[in-house]
Amino acid sequence: MGTEHNIFSIVQQQLDEAAAILELDHATHQMLRQPQRELHVSLPVRMDDGSTKVFSGYRVQYNDARGPAKGGLRFHPDETIDTVRALAAWMTWKTAVVNVPLGGGKGGVVCSPKELSPAELERLSRAYVRQVGRIIGPSKDVPAPDVYTNPQVMAWMMDELSAMRGYNEFGAITGKPIPIGGSAGRSDATARGGMYTVREAASVLGISLAGGTAAIQGYGNAGSFAHKLAEELLGLRVVAVSDSSGGVFSDKGIGVESASEHKQTFGSVAGLPNTSPITNESLLELDVDVLIPAALESVITSSNAGSIKASIVAELANGPTTPSADKILHDKGTYLIPDLLCNAGGVTVSYFEMVQNSYGYYWSEDMVHERLDAKITDAFHQVHNASKEYGVNHRVAAYLVSVSRVAEAMRLRGWVS
Ligand code: NAD
């Protein structure tokens, strides 16, 4: 695999660029180029047909200098240790950019969740916790949902961990259902935080988004809520949406309810009535005001970046743009809101969930929205200002803000001098 698509190499390249600007000393730079610790696990799971299948899983604690490691758990057939390392590194920068007192971690299990029955999925989720339970906990490392994991998976994992500990360990897993320690406002937090950053980008660009257009790639937690909130909060008309089975386009706009219902019934947005089909590749190149990649990594590369027409690219997915594509977009004046910042709403509300779990007193949805808005808006302007001050693109600027915070924590703790 070339370095343009190996996402851990991409993470290291992005860090190297920031380290050079910040003139980080060698030891600090080396610490930040590799995970602090990682666990590789084998998970024997009893399948419905009576056989036992062994799955591979990982948990990477990239850096916990600023607080417990924090990051999602992904169930995906293409999961690799390098993907998990990259995502764990991004979590480290993300918690630092929004300035919540957490480090970065990530987990993954190599599996095809769509081929598992609910009972098999439950047994797999519990098996994962039995293996990683020894290194997770509210003051160690706190998993959350990511691609193909959801509040139900979090509920099973929290229950298994609680059984292992002998008491309710609500604060060890976030993204739980509300009746068992979840936070109001967590389900749409990633998309909501992203829409707040799009609002701020439009404001610094001096453009109005009301009546403008958007295209969204990926129609899971991040993408489907982005559809709803792009309409509700920004007045955008969403003209194209897609998922792993294909996409749909309508110049008149795609209704969020009809798209969600279609996805619920048929497992995909593809084939939605009164729309025309569009490929995932063409969706990215549509002439829209806001492009929202909300699926997987490395979809905007040196091959298609020149054809991206959106004025704002809001990276709800982690790592959708490669470094060479970054340069192309920056040179042509696209306002890219980097993943670290754009999708940090999820981890911010996960942090709020941990806080609420720790004192057992829960906030209203309005309070969550207000506090999320304050955190994200503040982070947006710190990144925007760093970009102006150092004359760098927004991704490098986000790294400058976050890497300097993690480096300072390591220095204050005496890990490096
Ligand atoms: P999800 O599992 O809920 O949804 C993923 C969506 O992407 C699905 O609609 C799937 O069909 C689609 N998809 C998968 N492969 C695709 C492909 N090749 N082309 C087009 N679409 C494809 O996952 P999610 O939680 O919405 O996560 C999506 C992205 O957002 C990931 O990069 C994830 O790391 C990131 N993210 C999620 C959260 C969160 O809170 N859920 C937080 C931060 C970042």
DSSP-derived pairing of the beta strands 104-110 and 52-63: antiparallel
Residue 2 — pLDDT band, cuts 50, 70, 90? very low
CATH of 37-176, one of 3.60.20.10, 3.40.50.720, 3.40.50.10860, 3.40.50.170: 3.40.50.10860
What residue spans in the chain does CATH classification 3.40.50.10860 cover? 37-176
Q: What is the mean predicted confidence (pLDDT) over 96-116?
A: 98
Q: How many whole angstroms from 23 Cα to the centroid of ligand 1?
A: 35
CA distance 407 to 65: 8
pLDDT band (50, 70, 90) for residue 4: low
Contacts of 371 (CB under 8 A, 6+ apart): 352, 363
Strand-pair partners of 53:
45
CB 350 within 8 A of CB 175: yes
Mean pLDDT over each residue of the chain, to the nearest integer: 96
Q: Which of 296, 301, 340, 347 to mutate to test the pocket of ligand 1 (most atoms within 8 A of CB)?
A: 296
d(CA 314, CA 303) in angstroms, rounded, equals 19
Tokens 């911010």, located at residue = 348
DSSP state of 36: S
Extract the tokens encoding 114. 């769509």
- What's the token pair of residue 221? 């937690």
> Ligand 1 within 6 A of 219 CB?
yes
The span from the CA of 195 to the CA of 178, in Å, is 23
Q: Token pair 């209203």 is at which residue?
A: 364
List, by residue range, all CATH 3.40.50.720 domains of the chain.
Answer: 189-337
State the sign of the Cα–Cα–Cα–Cα dihedral 350, 356, 360, 366: negative
For the CA of 219, the nearest atom of ligand 1: 9
CB of 284 within 8 A of CB of 180?
A: no
Rounded CA-CA distance 122/145 in Å is 14
pLDDT at 5 exceeding the cut of 70: no
Q: How far apart are the first and last CA of the chain?
A: 36
3-state secondary structure of 76: strand
Task: Report how far ligand 1's centroid is from the alpha carbon of 216 (Å).
Answer: 11
Q: How far is CA 169 from the centre of its chain?
A: 24
pTM of the predicted protein model? 0.94
Q: Which residues are catalytic?
A: 106
Is the Cβ–Cβ distance between 157 and 125 less than 8 Å?
yes
Q: What's the pLDDT tens digit per position in 224-273?
A: 999 999 999 999 999 999 999 999 999 999 999 999 999 999 999 999 99
Q: Which fold has domain 189-337?
A: Rossmann fold (3.40.50)
* Atom number, ligand 1, closest to the C-alpha of residue 189: 40
Q: Kindly give the distance from the C-alpha atom of residue 189 to the centroid of ligand 1, in angstroms, as a whole number.
A: 14
Model confidence at 1: pLDDT above 50: no
pLDDT of residue 139: 97
158, 126 in Cβ contact below 8 A? no
pLDDT above 50 for 96: yes
Strand partners, 291: 215, 313
Q: What is the DSSP letter of 337?
A: E
Q: Does any ligand 1 atom lie closer than 6 A to the CB of residue 194?
A: no
Stretch 337-341: mean pLDDT: 97
Q: What does 205-243 look like in DSSP terms, one character per residue?
A: HT---TT-EEEEE--SHHHHHHHHHHHHHH--EEEEEEE
Q: Is the pLDDT of residue 108 over 60?
A: yes
